[in-house]
Amino acid sequence: MTSPTAPFTSMRAWLRHLASTDRLAAIREGVSLQHELAAISKRLDGRQATLFRRPGGQAMPVVSGFMSRRSWIAEAMGVPESQLLARFRLAVEHPLRSQEVVREAAPCQQVVHDFKASPGDILKLLPIPTHSEHDHGPYITAGLVIARNPKTGIQNVSINRIQISGPDKLGVLLLPRHLHSFFQAAEAQGEALDIAIVIGVDPLTALASQAIVPIDFDELEIAGALHCRPLRVVRCTSNGVHVPADAEIVIEGRLLPGRREPEGPFGEFPKYYSAREEREVIAIDAITHRRDPIFHTIVPAEMEHLLLGAIPREATLLAHLQRSFPNVIDVHLSIGGVARYHLNVQMKKKREGEPKNVILGAFGGHYDIKQVIVVDEDVNVHDPAEIEWAVATRFQADRDLVVITGAQGSPLDPSTTVPFADNKPPAHLQGMSAKMGLDATKPLASSAHVFTRVHIPGEREIDLAAVIVATGGAAVSGTPLDGVEV
């Protein structure tokens, strides 16, 4: 029995917890893996996680949407929602080394399909959905890709979209980060890069995989810190990569040197499609799993996808800003800004001009950030209506707006492709983007009441249960409304 404040360390325990609080919907047998499964999950997004029985007629169930609210993720961590970023930051600052276990103690290797010994077909083994209308086909969207730095041996974890290209072949998008640089180093030597794709981990391990940390910082050690105990890992059966021993499913394989094949289109987090292009190729060497595995899929661009990226980034951006600006209080990557592009910053301004320094600092924090709105400490950065109110009443475009042209932005933002023929920028011009900052803080000095926010004394303290005597039909009895025909 898990106490409500202990972090959840297993996906299964977390799903049981959601079920016991009416946040898990079991879906009828035989839902189609093509679009129907994703459509149902999307409709329930943020309300209930979904557990599909025998999807597409396959025995293995599929689960989705079990991290689709901030409050759920805080609950999985065992902290109040207000402590979410602080807890994540603490885990990043105090990582916990993983603990290696033997194969017999690793549920993720209870069943082994050795593709080298006899050819296998990934689509016969795993229920992999096709999500969006124009997706090329089935995609693994919740796969933690783990690889070792060929130079140092230290592992990296990332989530990459993975296309099923053939029975034992996958296509993958590598953004210019750590996995990409490991592969570049291996490829320069004419060698493949051993990898593992881990599917079905607890919410905190999934969250840890998205931490914005330097190269040679093993994200699994953040998962251990969030769990408050070392993560159990096991060596893969066909290579030297270590994977979470309690995962549901592991695909072992190699990124092939000198090979590029078409990947895409695929509907991504900005709610647009990435084009079909020549991208890296993975050969599958083995698939291992539990005796009764559960497959996890993330519906692209929906809350689970957006929050997984947003929370670790927010934690990193808050730490980054507070190093230079200790009076920054909170940050939020808004959902409308696809949880990547638009950052709201709350600060206690001490001097005029500071918000513009904060805006510039935020652009340096992550290249994806395209818009920064700085607000005062009385504005809730999580509430889009409050942010708009601050812009409406504390911002003047001619003096409070910062625009920077020609910086690097997100290559997945389609507006960055507009100046180029066929919307195809050459590689060295991809992701060129303008940045916009809005100082929506009120002036430090102003005449009385001009910037005083309307407030009704006692509003927050009212106990509604104590003041409401009747509702519905009973609300009118004994008043002039009694007996009025409707």
Smallest separation, CB 206 to Mn ion (Å): 14
List Cβ neighbours of 110 (8 Å cut-off, separation of 6 or more).
288, 289, 290, 291
Is 217 or 451 the residue whose CB approaches Mn ion more closely? 217
Smallest separation, CB 425 to Mn ion (Å): 26
Question: In what order do the strands lie in the sheet containing 401-408?
Answer: 328-333, 342-347, 371-375, 432-439, 401-408
Is 178 or 394 the residue whose CB approaches Mn ion more closely? 178
Smallest separation, CB 364 to Mn ion (Å): 19
Smallest separation, CB 217 to Mn ion (Å): 6
Residue 17 binds Mn ion (CB under 5 A): no
64 contacts 50 by C-beta, under 8 angstroms: yes
Residue 371 binds Mn ion (CB under 5 A): no
Residue closest to 324 by CA, chosen among 363, 370, 282, 277: 363
Residue 141 binds Mn ion (CB under 5 A): no
Smallest separation, CB 173 to Mn ion (Å): 16
H-run or E-run covering 144: strand 143-148
Stretch that binds Mn ion, among 40-48, 104-112, 148-156, 338-346 (CB under 5 A): 148-156
List Cβ neighbours of 235 (8 Å cut-off, separation of 6 or more).
100, 103, 241, 242
State how far the Cα of 474 lies from the Cα of 327, in Å rounded to an integer.
51
How is residue 231 written in tokens? 């993560």
Smallest separation, CB 149 to Mn ion (Å): 10
Stretch that binds Mn ion, among 26-34, 96-104, 178-186, 195-203 (CB under 5 A): 178-186
Is 77 or 159 the residue whose CB approaches Mn ion more closely? 159
Is 187 or 218 the residue whose CB approaches Mn ion more closely? 218
Smallest separation, CB 215 to Mn ion (Å): 6
Applying CB under 5 A, among 64, 68, 149, 156 the residue interacting with Mn ion is: 156
Is 158 or 410 the residue whose CB approaches Mn ion more closely? 158
How is residue 122 written in tokens? 């990934």
Please name every residue paired with 436 in a beta bridge, in sequence order, or none if there are none: 371, 403
Please name every residue paired with 348 in a beta bridge, in sequence order, or none if there are none: none
Is 367 or 451 the residue whose CB approaches Mn ion more closely? 367
210 contacts 339 by C-beta, under 8 angstroms: no
| Residue with nearest beta carbon to Mn ion | 178
Is 219 or 263 the residue whose CB approaches Mn ion more closely? 219
DSSP letter at 472 equals G
Is 156 or 346 the residue whose CB approaches Mn ion more closely? 156
Is 98 or 156 the residue whose CB approaches Mn ion more closely? 156
Smallest separation, CB 212 to Mn ion (Å): 8
State how far the Cα of 398 lies from the Cα of 393, in Å rounded to an integer.
14
Is 215 or 404 the residue whose CB approaches Mn ion more closely? 215
How is residue 92 written in tokens? 């990043």
Smallest separation, CB 151 to Mn ion (Å): 14
CA distances (Å), origin 433, targets 129, 300, 367, 430: 33, 23, 9, 9
State how far the Cα of 25 lies from the Cα of 92, in Å rounded to an integer.
33
Smallest separation, CB 160 to Mn ion (Å): 12
Stretch that binds Mn ion, among 102-110, 174-182, 269-277, 475-483 (CB under 5 A): 174-182
255 contacts 160 by C-beta, under 8 angstroms: no
Is 161 or 290 the residue whose CB approaches Mn ion more closely? 161
How is residue 381 written in tokens? 């950065």
Smallest separation, CB 315 to Mn ion (Å): 15
Going by their DSSP bridges, the two strands 371-375 and 342-347 should be labelled as parallel
Please name every residue paired with 162 in a beta bridge, in sequence order, or none if there are none: 140, 172
State how far the Cα of 462 lies from the Cα of 118, in Å rounded to an integer.
70
224 contacts 96 by C-beta, under 8 angstroms: yes
Stretch that binds Mn ion, among 33-41, 149-157, 165-173, 421-429 (CB under 5 A): 149-157
Smallest separation, CB 309 to Mn ion (Å): 14
State how far the Cα of 265 lies from the Cα of 272, in Å rounded to an integer.
10
Please name every residue paired with 279 in a beta bridge, in sequence order, or none if there are none: 261
| 380-406 b/e (C-beta count within 10 Å ≥ 16 → b) | bbeebebbebbbeebbeeeebebeeee
Residue 178 binds Mn ion (CB under 5 A): yes
Is 144 or 294 the residue whose CB approaches Mn ion more closely? 144
Q: How many residues bind Mn ion (CB under 5 A)?
A: 2
Stretch that binds Mn ion, among 43-51, 65-73, 89-97, 153-161 (CB under 5 A): 153-161
Binding site for Mn ion (CB under 5 A): 156, 178
